[in-house]
Structure 1
Amino acid sequence: MMMNSKVLWSIFLLGTFKFLLSAAPGALLAIPVWQTCLASAAGATLSSALSFYLGGFIFNWLRLRKLGKEPFLHPRKIAFTRKIVKVKARIGFIGFCLLSSVIFPVPFGAVICARLFRKRKQAFLLITLGIHINAILLTGIWYVLF
């Protein structure tokens, strides 16, 4: 039982950052599927909640801080922002919220969703729903592979 709790904590912590790989230790060490899926989804949900709500706060703080300054536009930042906007336009609000935890690392995807969709009330609910759907699918894939 002690080994299971250590593995589940590692799955939880791995789920907070690298959601795609978080179910691999559970599959390799033969932890029950439901425990692996639950630990992975819980870690990703906690990370996305912190990132989504703190991301909105940080963006508001940065906006207020930069009010009196001349903006500096870095070329790499502009190119990356254009790519994100293209993905957003291609898959839409619901698709972006559901897939942001798989496309990007969980905190980064939640911050991007906070930046793009902070005024929509259902954004965080869709992110959480996407995390749980993807946790079931990714855990199933990892258990089939191993």
Structure 2
Amino acid sequence: IYGEDKIKKVLELLDGTKTSLIVSFHDFKKTPSRDELVSILKQQIAAGAHVAKLAAMPQKEEDVLNVLSATLEVRRQFPCIPIITMSMGPTGAVTRLVGGLFGSDLTFAVGSQSSAPGQIPVAELRQCFNVIHPTHTEA
């Protein structure tokens, strides 16, 4: 899916450094099925990703639930591998708030300029995190 040979070559270049490899999948048009999302994350991990990441555009609310459900399944199978997942756009914005409850280790917020649809301004995200994650730590 990503070119395992290319990933292996990058990993060889990173060997002995303090740099981690994030293998990322983006679909700006749709959300693959839940099973496909799980498969994508597992393929990234199997290929040697230090961090597995995916972002997809929901067409319906169920797509958002599929991203969260896939995240939870992969988190439970691979508790020590960092995972970053999100559903994009206004419909998917909730994943940026609650993804951590399902196993996503990181989210993205707007500082001065958005880099993807559905990102929440950092000040608003912090307010929400104070309610949803009262013991969270900020980077």
Structures share fold, TM-score greater than 0.5: no
Q: TM-score, normalised by structure 1?
A: 0.27
- Give the structure with the larger strand fraction: 2
If you compute each CA radius of gyration, which structure gives the higher value, 1 or 2? 1
